[in-house]
Amino acid sequence: MRRAFLYKIFLLLTVSFTVAMPAHAEDGYEAWLRYQPVVEQKLRKAYQQQLRAIITEGNSPTLQAATGELQRGLSGLLAKPVAISEKLSSNALVVGTPASSPLIASLDLSARLSMLGNEGYLIEKARINKRNVTVIAANSDTGVLYGSFHLLRLLQTQQALDNISISSAPKLQHRVINHWDNLNRVIERGYAGLSLWDWGTLPEHKSQRYVDYARINASLGINGTVINNVNADPRVLSDQFLQKIAALADVFRPYGIKVYLSINYNSPRAFGDLDTADPLDPRVAKWWQERTKKVYDYIPDFGGYLVKANSEGQPGPQDYKRNHADGANMLAAALKPYGGIVFWRAFVYHPDIDDRFRGSYDEFKPLDGKFADNVILQVKNGPIDFQPREPYSALFSAMEKTNMMMEFQVTQEYFGFATHLAYQGSLFEESLRTETYVKGEGSTIGNILEGKTFNTKHTGMAAVINPGTDRNWTGHPFVQSSWYAFGRMAWDHSISADVAADEWLRMTFTNDKKFIEPVKQFMLASREAGVNYRSPLGLTHLYSQGDHYGPAPWTANLERPDWTAIYYHRAAKDGIGFNRTKTGSNAVAQYPETLAKQYGDLKTVPEDLLLWFHHVSWDHQMQSGRTLWNELVHKYYDGVEQVRSMQREWEKLESFIDAERFAQVKALLKIQERDAVIWRDSCVLYFQTFSGKPIPAEYEQPKHDLEYYKTLARTRYVPEPWHPASSSRVLK
Ligand code: BDP
């Protein structure tokens, strides 16, 4: 008796101790799955009373993952061990599907579950055999897993469970992350260490990190991962790599995550099997059929191929005078028997066209309706390339008969890498809520993606993401917030940037409002700050060629004009901006009429897109009453002030969070402030050589002259160790 009592005390102490003291310091490894004890005592008690045990019937690997996560999460959050039991008891949490669980089946949820598809779930109160319980029910084990993460999120964000009744189902089918990982483990545009995939020790060693990666993604409902770079190494389809990839797929499978591969279009040649990769050559089609069968032999639930073809030097069907549809459909036919998908990227642009903006639309629009039904066109959010602000890619409102999915970027290639704080949730929200008017009001990008506007068969959203071997996965702790926002919005595009940031902060740091409110406010402003100090009012692509980190708006005379900065801003004595109206490249005509009119008219174009569409005189009157020149200067200075205000806010918050993450973010904000000043001064001084106008006296004047900033750009350290630009700078 006494011994049992002592043992109980011991257990209690160890659990509360391990729960309160994570194995590692707060280094970000746990991401938003920290499961720290609920601080508010009353709430914690209520949770303890309502969730006394976990009852799972059925033991598939996915149900085990769900149950394991619930036990881990609840034991942490409730600060007491929560048992898994087979016997029904009052105030238990009952989880399962009608097929796996007689208890769930007894509730007759079938009518409501049938509305939720294969991945949706219900979380609600119920009575089973006269006992009050909480239920997580779904049609599939994966649905149960998603519901489990949702329940944990409710506790992590301190929401009462008393009258809980939630039903949720994803709005998009394919919610996919794209890694740009090379097989040598260098990540293109990664910034957070080496690739997570340790090819040297796979398949024998399956690192715990792979499991934690899968948990993090499953918590958001992400159901696909493309594990290698779109600039693809053909070897990824070799037996030796497929064996390793199969081991990863085994780890991800219980978490509902399918593996996809980026392929190199020239693979039949690279393997030395054929001297052509012409998609209309039957030998090529056969090669892909055989190779694809092999892939499915290794990975029976393989997702499909992602293809970057005839883009930035990658091979593709055009090398054989075939078009993108010919190229994609041949692969689609090879995948079809297994239910596989082709994600065909629309990111193409050619130097011989006078406006890069037009490139992708001009190539793909004529192919609308020509793609097989298991091809999805993967389109970047904007017409150019993940810039801090772009109008939407006109393909979204033009390809009525083609499956399309969004490609966003979480890794901050154009937002200061892993050293700047730039929450991308705001960009995603802006993009998804953009009204295209293509079928009247309500034709938002989100609704188009959902298939509501054009009634397409496949729907989806992808994000290029950068997790690497850095302990906190993403380098800057706040890059995790964009990963989080992406996943939540891929599940439901109506979730706002505000809501996603709120949840993320609560789960990642603390539920204390005094911390959340100021940090959320500056997170929500951080993307605009990044636009302001880099390229306000519709300017774009003012980077040094290749490194994409610092400013070099003077960049000219490269082998391709569309890689220079002057190509995009067109600054001259008479004004600045790219004329894409009827009197210019007329790219504006790619949009539905309402928008083409709005964007094409200087009086109605939104000011934050002004220089995307118009070449405007320096004296042009802006809505603020300032001239364009003064407004431009104002925006650049505002951007720097926004970063300074983030710094000031962060300084006040030391007492709310752990010392480790506090200090890291503080240091990173300092770097960001330094870089923001460099951006501002470089751009303002450079554009001043055209405007000939002063920087108004009320602003702090640049400390250096333009030559100083030009030299700085040539010698700059770029925090991307493996990019050629950081190792072989040419000093002219
Ligand atoms: C550009 C990146 C480059 C990628 C390319 C792509 O600079 O590294 O390969 O996009 O999306 O933004 O294919």
The confidence band for 18, taking pLDDT boundaries of 50, 70 and 90, is very low
Residue 229 lies inside a defined structural domain of this protein: yes
User: What percent of the chain stands above pLDDT 70?
Assistant: 95
* CB distance 414 to ligand 1 below 6 Å: no
Write down the pLDDT at residue 720: 78
CB count in 10 Å sphere of residue 57: 18
Query: Is the link from the previous residue into 203 a cis peptide, with omega within 30 of 0?
Result: yes
Dmax (CA) for the chain in angstroms is 91
Mean pLDDT, residues 354-359 taken together: 95
Write down the pLDDT at residue 490: 98
- Both 148 and 187 in a single domain? no
Half-sphere exposure of 136 (CA within 13 A, CB side): 30
* Average confidence score pLDDT of the chain: 94
Give the residue numbers spanning the domain of 562.
532-578+615-715
Task: Quote the ligand 1 centre to 189 CA distance (angstroms).
Answer: 8
Mean pLDDT, residues 466-486 taken together: 97
Task: Quote the ligand 1 centre to 688 CA distance (angstroms).
Answer: 31
* CB distance 231 to ligand 1 below 6 Å: yes
The confidence band for 710, taking pLDDT boundaries of 50, 70 and 90, is very high
* CB distance 415 to ligand 1 below 6 Å: no
Residue 71 · residue 51 · CB < 8 Å:
no
- Assign 467 to helix, strand or coil: coil
- Both 475 and 454 in a single domain? yes
- Both 470 and 424 in a single domain? yes
* CB distance 347 to ligand 1 below 6 Å: yes
Write down the pLDDT at residue 339: 98
Q: What is the pLDDT of residues 365-383, one digit of tens each?
A: 999 999 999 999 999 999 9
Residue 520 · residue 526 · CB < 8 Å:
no
Residue 468 lies inside a defined structural domain of this protein: yes
Task: Label residue 178 left, alpha or beta by phi (over 0 means left) and psi (-120 to 50 means alpha).
Answer: beta
- Both 164 and 178 in a single domain? no
Task: Quote the ligand 1 centre to 678 CA distance (angstroms).
Answer: 24
How far, in Å, CA of 595 to CA of 526, rounded?
27
Task: Quote the ligand 1 centre to 429 CA distance (angstroms).
Answer: 22
Out of 231, 306, 722, mutate this one to test ligand 1's pocket (max ligand atoms within 8 Å of CB): namely: 231
Q: Measured from the CA of 407, which atom of ligand 1 is nearest?
A: 11
Q: What is the pLDDT of residues 99-150, one digit of tens each?
A: 999 999 999 899 999 999 999 999 999 999 999 999 999 999 999 999 999 9
Strands of the 131-138 sheet, one edge to the other: 83-85, 53-56, 92-96, 131-138, 121-128, 165-168
- Assign 337 to helix, strand or coil: helix
Write down the pLDDT at residue 633: 98
Residue 597 · residue 503 · CB < 8 Å:
no
Residue 371 · residue 391 · CB < 8 Å:
no
The confidence band for 315, taking pLDDT boundaries of 50, 70 and 90, is very high
Element (H, E) at 307: strand 304-307
Is pLDDT above 90 for 718? Answer: no
By DSSP bridging, strand 131-138 and strand 121-128 are antiparallel
Write down the pLDDT at residue 21: 44
* CB distance 720 to ligand 1 below 6 Å: no
- Both 695 and 622 in a single domain? yes
- Both 315 and 460 in a single domain? yes
Mean pLDDT, residues 384-396 taken together: 98
Q: Measured from the CA of 308, which atom of ligand 1 is nearest?
A: 13
Write down the pLDDT at residue 293: 98
Write down the pLDDT at residue 730: 43
Residue 243's CATH number: 3.20.20.80
Is pLDDT above 50 for 19? Answer: no
Amino acid identity, position 41: Q
Is pLDDT above 50 for 476? Answer: yes
Task: Quote the ligand 1 centre to 311 CA distance (angstroms).
Answer: 9
- Both 97 and 144 in a single domain? yes
Q: At what angle do helices 479-491 and 497-508 cross, to 10 degrees?
A: 130
Residues annotated catalytic, as ranges = 312, 385, 413
Residue 596 lies inside a defined structural domain of this protein: no
Q: Which of 229-233, 514-518, 559-563 has the lowest mean pLDDT?
A: 559-563
Using the 3D structure, point to which of 126, 149, 168 is the last residue of a domain: 168
* CB distance 232 to ligand 1 below 6 Å: no
Write down the pLDDT at residue 108: 87
Task: Quote the ligand 1 centre to 720 CA distance (angstroms).
Answer: 14
Task: Quote the ligand 1 centre to 385 CA distance (angstroms).
Answer: 8
Please state the domain count of the chain: 3
Residue 589 lies inside a defined structural domain of this protein: no
Out of 385, 466, 541, mutate this one to test ligand 1's pocket (max ligand atoms within 8 Å of CB): namely: 385
Is pLDDT above 50 for 8? Answer: no
* CB distance 543 to ligand 1 below 6 Å: no
Q: What is the pLDDT of residues 614-639, one digit of tens each?
A: 999 999 999 999 999 999 999 999 99
Amino acid identity, position 171: K
Task: Quote the ligand 1 centre to 220 CA distance (angstroms).
Answer: 25
- Both 645 and 708 in a single domain? yes
Task: Quote the ligand 1 centre to 412 CA distance (angstroms).
Answer: 12
Residue 522 lies inside a defined structural domain of this protein: no
* CB distance 386 to ligand 1 below 6 Å: yes
* CB distance 230 to ligand 1 below 6 Å: yes
Is pLDDT above 50 for 732? Answer: no
Residue 158 lies inside a defined structural domain of this protein: yes
Residue 146's CATH number: 3.30.379.10
User: What percent of the chain stands above pLDDT 90?
Assistant: 91
Mean pLDDT, residues 338-353 taken together: 94
CB count in 10 Å sphere of residue 326: 17
* CB distance 188 to ligand 1 below 6 Å: yes
* CB distance 301 to ligand 1 below 6 Å: no
Written as six digits, the tokens of 256 are 């509902």
Is pLDDT above 80 for 729? Answer: no
Measuring from atom 10 of ligand 1, which residue has the nearest CA?
Answer: 385
Is pLDDT above 80 for 11? Answer: no
Write down the pLDDT at residue 351: 81
- Both 276 and 341 in a single domain? yes
Write down the pLDDT at residue 141: 98
- Assign 625 to helix, strand or coil: coil
Q: What is the pLDDT of residues 431-441, one digit of tens each?
A: 999 999 999 99
How far, in Å, CA of 120 to CA of 104, rounded?
15
Residue 96 · residue 137 · CB < 8 Å:
yes
- Both 207 and 247 in a single domain? yes
Q: Which value, in Å, is the radius of gyration of the alpha carbons in the chain?
A: 27
Mean pLDDT, residues 463-485 taken together: 97
For residue 624, give every residue at least 6 positions away whose Cβ sits within 8 Å of its Cβ, in sequence order, or none: 631, 634
Mean pLDDT, residues 390-409 taken together: 98
Residue 510 lies inside a defined structural domain of this protein: no
- Both 418 and 282 in a single domain? yes
Q: What is the pLDDT of residues 441-467, one digit of tens each?
A: 999 999 999 999 998 999 999 999 999
Write down the pLDDT at residue 544: 84
- Both 501 and 547 in a single domain? no
Q: Which residues of 534-570 are buried (b: 16+ CB within 10 A; e: fewer)?
A: bbbbbbbbbbbbbbbbbbbbbbeeeeeebebbbbbbb
Name the DSSP letter for residue 37. P
Using the 3D structure, point to which of 168, 189, 212 is the last residue of a domain: 168
Write down the pLDDT at residue 24: 57
Is pLDDT above 60 for 12? Answer: no
Residue 602 lies inside a defined structural domain of this protein: no
Q: Measured from the CA of 188, which atom of ligand 1 is nearest?
A: 8
Using the 3D structure, point to which of 139, 168, 197 is the last residue of a domain: 168
Q: Measured from the CA of 314, which atom of ligand 1 is nearest?
A: 13
Measuring from atom 9 of ligand 1, which residue has the nearest CA?
Answer: 231
Is pLDDT above 50 for 9? Answer: no
Q: Measured from the CA of 180, which atom of ligand 1 is nearest?
A: 9
